[in-house]
Amino acid sequence: MAKRISSKSHKKSKPAPKKAAPRAVKNLKIALLGMGTVGTSVAKILCRSADGPLQLTHILDRDLSKREIEWVPKQMHWPSSFNAVLASDVDVVVELIGGLKPAGDWIRKALRAGKSVVTANKMLIAECGTELQKLADEVGKRIEFGASVAGGIPVIIGIQEGLAGDRLYEIAGILNGTCNFILTKMEANGTTFQAALKEAQKLGFAEADPTADVEGFDARAKLVILTQAGLRTEVRTEQIPCRPISTIDAVDFVYAHDLNCTIRQISLARKDTSDGLRLSAAVQPALIPASCLMAHVERNKNMVVATGEFSEQTVFSGFGAGGDPTAVAVVSDLYSIARSAGAPLASSASAAEVPDAVSGDFTVPHYLRFVVKDRPGIIAALGTVLSKFDISIDAVLQKPGYPHTTLPFVMTLEPCSTALLDQALEEIAGLDFNVQAPLCLPILQM
């Protein structure tokens, strides 16, 4: 039987396509500034992978006992000053000392000395991020700050690169693990704010001075960074209003559940280009529906939701704090610099626009909780003030079993301007039946 010959055998064979050359990975010598909780985790990761492209060669820390850590190589350089770091041959400076000074000055000097920078300093990036990015662009170096928001969650790189093809118009999130732990503990156990805070401090989730967390300052700094990175809109921290979570009481979760909602600290920035460029942004406790993903973020986890014109909602979630998760983000930024062989990337610093107006005003439904000395005519008096500002009541809720001398009850309002409602509440606060100031929370459809 004749052997069948494939027609392919008669064709002239084509040369195999050439494989693309692998991207060069630059070996980087790294100086670490600060060996606290995050710095120690970064040093441990780098020392355990010393045969890779990231070589930790210098550590600047005032604590001399750190030099005796057994897993730190004996040949490690321990400079006595930052000037010694600048004079060395390191390629990248990792700043983990925190604060605005001297961290900001050191980063500027490092960039001007021809060294790229990686930082987890959220306060500095919120205040000076655009300026530092422009400086890095001018000198042809990199500044990376992925660890400054949401710790180990790759939200900055995900927004800047993964969603670069979209036009984002809203960033929302649970950005502070301490607040989320406190609120979920209050919800689960019916405890007071103070009791939940003490437990958070005992477990190491809250600082001895929790002001930056519970007042919203920490989350606000992160929201500024996300607004500039994702919405490409410049905003200053002082332009974004904060409201504390310390005003929340266990009874608010009881009423929130009746409304099929829960309470979380929400950071929200929304860009509107229908009439110029306007930005609405705030950090505050808010009611969110139980059907919302953020309603199920437990303990000290974080979540960021970026909303765009084309991709709609993209969600980033995970543990947003702690030494190890934050260290992973720092090391990931170092690998990004190594993969680009140290070359600068196109940045969004020059693309960020200054809005025509920034406010904390959102037109949404609201939750009002009053604690009053009960008497006839209270609802009528509140309705009179609200109607004066053209604000409509949606519902009134009152649980039985509370003393009439300190009676809590709730009103929900039809969508209205936050700014207008604040004016009405200023007048309501002067009514003599109030035992304490009314609590006002937006109801956000996330």
CA 382 to chain centre: 37
What pLDDT shows up at residue 13? 46
| Identity of residue 359 | S
Neighbours of 164 (CB within 10 A): 10
What pLDDT shows up at residue 52? 86
Token pair 């974080």 is found at 302
**Contact predicate 362/440, CB 8 Å:** no
Which of 353, 215, 157, 370 is closest to 272 using CA atoms?
Answer: 353
Distance CA 263, CA 256 (A): 7
Q: Which of 115, 141, 222, 271 is catalytic?
A: 222
Position 207, amino acid: E
3-state helix, strand, coil in the chain (%, to 5): 35, 25, 40
Contact, 248 vs 440, CB < 8 A?
A: no
How far apart are alpha carbons 244 and 64 in whole angstroms? 39
Quick one: tokens of 289?
């529906």
pLDDT of residue 207: 87
Q: What is the pLDDT of residue 1?
A: 38
Q: Quick one: CA dihedral 48, 49, 55, 61, positive or negative?
A: negative
DSSP string over 166-201: S-EEEEEEE--HHHHHHHHHHHHH---HHHHHHHHH
91: closest CA among 57, 61, 60, 120?
57
pTM comes to: 0.87
DSSP 238-259: GGS-B--STT--HHHHHHHHHT
Q: Is 26 a catalytic residue?
A: no
- Dihedral in degrees, nearest 10, Cα atoms 252, 253, 255, 257: 160
Residues 6+ apart with CB under 8 A from 24: 341
Strand order in the sheet with 407-417: 393-397, 407-417, 363-372, 434-442
As a whole number of angstroms, the distance between CA 235 and CA 253 comes to 33
Sites in the chain below the pLDDT cut of 50 = 1-14, 17, 19-22, 348
Return d(Cα 255, Cα 266) in angstroms, integer: 19
Helices (H) and strands (E) in the chain, counts: 13, 15
User: Could you give the dihedral angle defined by the CA atoms of residues 234, 238, 241 and 247, in that order, rounded to the nearest 10 degrees?
Assistant: 140
One-letter identity of residue 73: P
State the amino acid at position 399 in one-letter form. K
Domains of the chain: 28-148 (3.40.50.720), 155-319+354-359 (3.30.360.10), 363-442 (3.30.70.260)
Paired tokens of 368: 């009002």
- The label of the residue with tokens 């961290």 reads 103
Q: How far apart are CA 314 and CA 297, in angstroms?
A: 16
